[in-house]
């Protein structure tokens, strides 16, 4: 036996907004269902979407970038600058030494990542320094002379 939704009057049967509300309710249920259950899969919707968190600081002469990239070797990280775009690439390799253990849950990400961001101004790619310590990559990028702010004195006569 098929159940049919009950409608009060015939006037409600012709109401297009009522049908739109029904569609909206069904779409909300669909999205809530799929997003609530993403953590039941090993990686969920974040699979192959890992990228490091980045902070960017702008000063008069330099741009400082800090990126959290824990558990990697400096040889596995590649940094490049093209104009005002900074790219950080790397690959975090999965540990293979786990023997005779059953995983209950794993949240650590493995695989390659790429993170590109636009810098506040163009930098001199010849004057970029990088350090990597305790899982934090620090980049100091010197600004180009023509992009540094200049102060102009105004004479009053």
Task: Assign 18 to helix, strand or coil.
Answer: helix
Q: Is the overall model pTM greater than 0.85, yes or no?
A: no
The tokens describing 75, both together, are: 């040889």
pLDDT of residue 141: 92
Exposure string for 93-123, b = 16+ CB within 10 A, e = fewer:
eeeeeeeeeeeeeeeebeeebebeeebeebb
| pLDDT for residue 65 | 94
Q: Give the C-alpha distances (Å, rounded to integers) separating 14 from 25, 119, 139.
A: 18, 55, 63
Half-sphere exposure of 151 (CA within 13 A, CB side): 2
pLDDT of 12 reads: 54
CA–CA distance, 45 with 38 (Å, rounded to integer): 6
> 63 - beta bridge partners?
58, 141
pLDDT per residue as tens, the chain (157 positions): 667 776 665 555 567 778 888 888 888 877 765 454 444 444 444 444 578 899 999 888 899 999 999 888 888 899 998 888 899 999 887 766 556 667 667 677 778 888 999 888 888 888 889 999 999 999 999 988 776 666 777 788 7
């Amino acid at each position: 036996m098929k159940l049919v939704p009950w409608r009060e009057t015939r006037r409600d049967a012709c109401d297009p907004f009522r049908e739109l509300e029904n569609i909206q309710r069904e779409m909300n249920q669909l999205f809530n269902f799929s997003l609530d259950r993403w953590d039941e899969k090993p990686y969920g919707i974040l699979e192959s979407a890992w990228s490091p968190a980045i902070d960017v600081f702008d000063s008069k002469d330099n741009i400082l970038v800090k990126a959290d990239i824990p558990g990697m070797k400096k040889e596995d990280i590649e940094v490049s600058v093209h104009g005002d775009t900074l790219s950080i690439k790397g690959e975090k390799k999965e540990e293979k030494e786990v023997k005779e253990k059953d995983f209950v849950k794993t949240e650590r990400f493995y695989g390659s990542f790429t993170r590109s961001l636009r810098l506040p101004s163009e930098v001199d790619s010849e004057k970029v320094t990088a350090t990597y310590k305790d899982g934090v990559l620090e980049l100091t990028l010197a600004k180009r002379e023509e992009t540094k702010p200049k102060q102009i004195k105004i004479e009053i006569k």
